[in-house]
């Protein structure tokens, strides 16, 4: 299970993510309460251990800007959340996570074959409670048959991560607001709980 902690703005949170066993940290360079400057992201990137992947999140940014920030911050992957084309993705060399939003089979069947390393599938709804009437059917992910690994995101937290993994059986999970004290400030207790529950669920599924 590939686990990414996104919306990192503080070194202490990046260090905790690495210590708790996350596989990647994400820096958001688009409009967001969790936006970080390339300069600050570079400082954090240089001080966190080398075996955790650094991911830069962009939305419809000029290609040269993405390439510049990628080089400056030592990013391993670029995560694209806009309307970037297949040619745009290809120009970045394939080290891409392409994000798309979906709620139904129709959405999933209409996802084009992006030249990416993985697809990140987000639910469209903002509601995330266990009792949410707009509950997303994560089993759609398990049976979508996409040609690339699928990462799931959107509304994930320690309370629902086990259920999501059991239903979706994704390659990876991506969490941000679900483990925060406030935007851009992670709760280390929630981060640890999220990662532990994800790992235990993965192990139980593998062992079973």
Q: Residue 37: which CATH number?
A: 3.20.20.70
- Helix 38-47 with 11-20: angle, nearest 10 deg: 40
CA–CA distance, 19 with 16 (Å, rounded to integer) = 5
Whole-angstrom distance, CA of residue 45 vs CA of residue 101: 28
pLDDT digits (tens, 9 = 90+) for 184-200: 999 999 999 999 999 99
Total count of domains within the chain = 1
Q: Say if residues 10 and 34 touch (Cβ distance below 8 Å).
A: no
The reported pLDDT for the residue numbered 74 is 95
Kindly write down the DSSP assignment for every residue of the chain, as one continuous string. -EEEE-----HHHHHHHHHHT-SEEEEE-SSSTTB--HHHHHHHHHHS-TTSEEEEEESS--HHHHHHHHHHHT-SEEEE-S---HHHHHHTTT-EEEEEEESSHHHHHT----SSSEEEEEES-----TT-TT---THHHHT---SS-EEEESS--TTTHHHHHHHH--SEEEESGGGEEETTEE-HHHHHHHHHHHHHHHHHHHH-
User: The tokens 């392409």 sit on which residue?
Assistant: 98
Residue range 68-113, pLDDT digits in tens: 999 999 999 999 999 999 999 999 987 899 999 887 778 888 888 8
Residue 47's beta-bridge partner residues? none
Nearest to residue 9, comparing CAs of 203, 176, 138, 132? 176
Q: Which residues on adjacent β-strands are paired with residue 96?
A: 78
pLDDT digits (tens, 9 = 90+) for 6-21: 999 999 999 999 999 9
Across 25-40, average pLDDT: 97
pTM value? 0.92
Which residues, other chains included, contact 98 with Cβ-Cβ below 8 Å and sequence gap of 6+? Answer: 79, 80, 84, 89, 114, 116, 118, 119, 120
Identify the domain containing residue 150 by its residue range: 2-207
Q: Across the strands, what pairs with 25?
A: 5, 54
pLDDT of residue 129: 46
CA distance 79 to 36: 15
> How far is Cα 195 from Cα 174, in angstroms, rounded to an integer?
11
Report the percent of the chain where pLDDT is more than 90: 75
The tens digit of pLDDT for each residue in 111-147 reads: 888 999 999 998 765 444 444 434 567 888 887 878 8
């Amino acid at each position: 299970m590939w686990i990414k902690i996104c919306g990192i703005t503080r070194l202490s949170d990046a260090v905790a993510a690495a210590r708790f066993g996350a596989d990647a940290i994400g820096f958001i360079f688009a409009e967001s309460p969790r936006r970080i400057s390339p300069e600050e992201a570079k400082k954090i990137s240089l001080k966190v251990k080398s075996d955790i992947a650094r991911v830069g999140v962009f939305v419809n940014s000029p290609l040269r800007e993405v390439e510049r920030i990628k080089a400056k911050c030592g990013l391993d992957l670029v995560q694209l959340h806009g309307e970037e084309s297949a040619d745009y993705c290809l120009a970045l060399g394939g080290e891409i996570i392409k994000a798309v939003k979906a709620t139904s089979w129709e959405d999933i069947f209409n996802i084009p074959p992006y030249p990416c390393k993985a697809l990140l599938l987000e639910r469209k709804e903002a509601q995330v409670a266990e009792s949410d009437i707009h509950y997303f059917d994560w089993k759609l992910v398990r049976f979508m048959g996409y040609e690339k690994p699928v990462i799931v995101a959107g509304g994930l937290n320690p309370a629902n991560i086990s259920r999501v993994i059991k239903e979706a059986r994704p390659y990876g999970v991506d969490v941000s607001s679900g483990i925060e004290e406030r935007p851009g400030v992670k709760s280390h207790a929630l981060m640890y709980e999220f990662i532990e529950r994800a790992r235990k669920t993965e192990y139980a599924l593998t062992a079973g």
